Amino acid sequence: MSKLPLIAPSILSADFAHLGDEVAAIDQAGADWIHIDVMDGHFVPNITIGPMVVKALRPYSQKPFDVHLMIAPVDQYIEAFSEAGADIISFHPEAGAHPHRTIQHIKSLGKKAGLVFNPATPLSWLDYLMDDLDLIMVMSVNPGFGGQKFIKTQLEKIKDIRQRITASGRDIRLEVDGGIDATTAPLAVEAGADVLVAGTASFKGGATCYTDNIRILRKS
């Protein structure tokens, strides 16, 4: 792929004591999207934030809020995150009984819908859902914690999805989340990713480093 990827820093790695300022700083540093990881301590082994925090952060950036829901059941929270200011809402197909209905719900609220694949989740879900998606996310780590090591077997999955997107002719973003840094970013992009989620690599060193961090990721 010839275009530079979009960079979506994950605020999971930001300073939670100054979260609004962190979102503003990473925005000004050149982030394309703000990635927000929502975990419930049930679907994944960690607890992060809810819609009230998303709403509180909304005034700090006009960039798209890329909200990744790692919660189950997911359907009952879609509307709350939409109202809080999410622009893109992604969920895991295992997190609800009827993924197609979940996608329809997200899109009925005027939001973009994404489907997330854990390392062991098969791509067969795309056989009947792909035509309704705006984004497909590949988890290159097992979800639940930041700072994990990139799982290289997911590169084949990224390539497979890129081929499906190309064959479909649809404008679907392919996002990769987990272990993204200056070393793994080019591998993900070469495989077909056009959006990179990076937490540790974006927020390391404090606000004075954010611009360089993002520049390195984008051009690495």
Per the annotation, where are the binding residues for a divalent metal cation?
Answer: 35, 37, 68, 177
3-class DSSP state of 123: helix
Pairwise CA distance, residues 75 & 53, whole Å: 19
66 is catalytic: no
The annotation places the binding site for substrate at 10, 68, 144-147, 177-179, 199-200
Backbone angles phi, psi at 196, to 5 degrees: -115, 125
Q: Which residue has the tokens 């197609």?
A: 100
Catalytic choice (40, 134, 177, 181): 177
37 is catalytic: yes
The tokens of 215 are what? Answer: 């520049």
- Among all chains, which residue has been given the structure tokens 């934030």? 49
Tokens of residue 188, six digits: 């993900």
3: number of Cβ within 10 Å: 7
Active-site position among 27, 32, 37, 194:
37
Which residues are catalytic, by number?
Answer: 37, 177
